[in-house]
């Protein structure tokens, strides 16, 4: 198993956590150099996205499982990807595809598209804006806030491309497929026909869809019909759902134990992991892409680092869930980590410019460089394949 852990907001918090445990993906022999052919082929790949995990969150509580991955793999703290906007839908999509939003066509939570905007969209928006402007003039702040939350937001968010209906119908993913970009899953499938790809989240259906990109066979997230995609803690009852054409297996859809009430943000990460463990055992997808949303939900609700006690509990649970995923692969006999001495860094055309130190440490197979969008150099990430 190859394990890659990323955190989002993608452009701000990739610096927070990137743990690669011998991360490689099987590619055809003609993509591998002769001196790389002896490298063992990866049979399973896991990408875990810890949504909006700030670097300082990792110091709030013991994280033995994350620390073990860092010790046995590759980690770095000085990184930056200049993507705007940097919210969840484009961030997760960029993680999966290695392309900026201008190429994936996923640029934010919403953008103008006549296919989803009603014919009277401009008129309705103009009216709501004028009413809001009038309320502001009266000084009735409480009324203005209520109107904005209950009228303006509903008018706008009801047509968001990332709303639940548009994601569940497959409309959101149609942008990615039409863009022509590739993805981790599609590259793996090209090299391994018949391989299965699964994408999982919980209350962030659009995060799951972004990871699924153009290649997932299964998607799993919580039912959220009528819930606005912008906000936090909006989903209170958990019930499995998925994208049309990439629906969860029946054993997930019909599992009564996955019908739950959310009592704490941590419950969303636990739910997503429970789904993942079932799929590891029963379906064993070769590529598993997981978004753990609780850090982002709790950060919005509590103020994040200003409430270290709250965030400590959430990050501790993140580490617990990662440990459960690791244990599931160990139990299945599908877990592998290289030792520290075999840890390697990506190479590229600029690698030797720093005196060859990176090249002397070894090179990842060429297909590694195709999947990781950036290269490590002097503790920084230099943009390479992001366009």
Model confidence over 66-103: pLDDT tens digits? Answer: 999 988 888 877 777 777 778 899 999 999 999 999 89
Residue 385 scores a pLDDT above 50: no
Residue 355 scores a pLDDT above 60: no
Give the chain's length: 387
- Tens-digit pLDDT profile for residues 137-157: 777 777 766 766 666 666 666
Residue 297 · residue 201 · CB < 8 Å: no
Q: Is the peptide bond before 85 cis (omega within 30 degrees of 0)?
A: yes
What does the pLDDT average to over 259-269?
A: 95
Average pLDDT for the chain = 76
Question: Exposed, middle or buried: residue 141 (CB in 10 Å: 0-12, 13-18, 19+)?
Answer: exposed
Residue 269 Cα to chain centre, angstroms = 13
Residue 270 scores a pLDDT above 60: yes
Of the candidate ranges 77-81, 108-112, 261-265, 379-383, the one whose mean pLDDT is the lowest: 379-383
- Tens-digit pLDDT profile for residues 172-185: 999 999 999 999 99
Distance CA 51, CA 47 (A): 12
| Residue that is written with structure tokens 């153009």 in the block | 214
Tokens matching residue 355: 């005196």
Q: What are the backbone angles phi and psi of residue 242, rounded to the nearest 5°? A: -165, 180
Residue 23 scores a pLDDT above 60: no
Distance CA 300, CA 135 (A): 27
Q: What are the backbone angles phi and psi of residue 66, rounded to the nearest 5°? A: -65, -40
Give the Cβ contact number of residue 226 at 10 Å: 11
Structure confidence at residue 117 as a pLDDT band (50, 70, 90):
low
Of the candidate ranges 11-15, 39-43, 191-195, 255-259, the one whose mean pLDDT is the lowest: 11-15
Residue 22 · residue 66 · CB < 8 Å: no
- Tens-digit pLDDT profile for residues 156-170: 666 788 989 999 999
* CB neighbour list of residue 355: distance below 8 Å, 6 or more residues apart: none
Residue 236 · residue 261 · CB < 8 Å: yes
Stretch (H or E) spanning 136: helix 121-138
Residue 314 scores a pLDDT above 60: yes
Tokens matching residue 172: 């959101």
- Tens-digit pLDDT profile for residues 197-243: 999 999 999 999 999 999 999 999 999 876 767 666 678 899 999 99
pLDDT, residue 119, reads 67
* CB neighbour list of residue 360: distance below 8 Å, 6 or more residues apart: none
Of the candidate ranges 56-60, 84-88, 112-116, the one whose mean pLDDT is the lowest: 112-116
Structure confidence at residue 341 as a pLDDT band (50, 70, 90):
very low
């Amino acid at each position: 198993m190859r394990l890659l852990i990323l955190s989002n907001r993608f452009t701000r918090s990739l610096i927070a956590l990137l743990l690669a445990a011998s991360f490689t993906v099987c590619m055809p022999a003609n993509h591998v150099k002769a001196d790389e052919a002896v490298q063992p082929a990866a049979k399973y790949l896991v990408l875990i996205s810890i949504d909006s995990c700030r670097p300082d969150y990792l110091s709030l509580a013991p994280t033995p499982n994350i620390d073990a991955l860092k010790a046995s793999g590759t980690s770095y703290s000085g990184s930056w990807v200049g993507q705007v906007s940097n919210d969840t839908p484009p961030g997760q999509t960029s993680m999966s595809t290695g392309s900026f939003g201008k190429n994936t066509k996923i640029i934010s939570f919403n953008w103008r598209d006549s296919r989803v905007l009603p014919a009277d969209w401009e008129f309705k928006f103009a009216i709501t804006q004028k009413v809001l402007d009038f309320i502001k003039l009266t000084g009735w702040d409480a009324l203005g806030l209520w109107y904005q939350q209950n009228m303006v937001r509903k008018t706008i968010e009801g047509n968001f491309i990332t709303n639940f209906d548009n994601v569940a119908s497959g409309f959101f993913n149609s942008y990615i497929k039409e863009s022509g970009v590739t993805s981790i899953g599609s590259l793996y499938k090209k090299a391994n026909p018949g391989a299965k790809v699964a994408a999982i989240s919980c209350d962030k259906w659009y995060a799951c869809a972004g990871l699924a990109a153009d290649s997932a066979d299964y998607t799993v997230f919580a039912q959220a019909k009528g819930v606005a995609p912008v906000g936090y803690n909006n989903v209170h009852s958990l019930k499995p759902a998925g994208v049309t054409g990439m629906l969860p297996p029946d054993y997930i859809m019909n599992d009564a134990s996955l019908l739950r009430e959310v009592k704490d943000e941590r419950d969303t990460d636990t739910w997503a992991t429970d789904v993942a463990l079932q799929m590891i055992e029963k379906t064993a997808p070769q590529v598993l892409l997981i978004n753990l949303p609780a850090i982002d939900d709790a950060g919005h609700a509590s103020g994040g680092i200003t409430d270290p006690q709250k965030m400590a509990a959430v990050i501790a649970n993140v580490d617990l869930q990662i440990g459960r995923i690791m244990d599931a692969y160990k139990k299945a006999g599908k877990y592998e980590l290289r030792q520290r001495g075999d840890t390697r860094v990506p190479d590229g055309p600029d690698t030797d410019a720093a005196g060859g130190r990176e090249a002397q440490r070894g090179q990842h197979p060429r297909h590694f460089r195709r999947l990781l969008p950036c290269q490590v150099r002097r503790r920084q990430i230099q943009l390479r394949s992001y366009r």
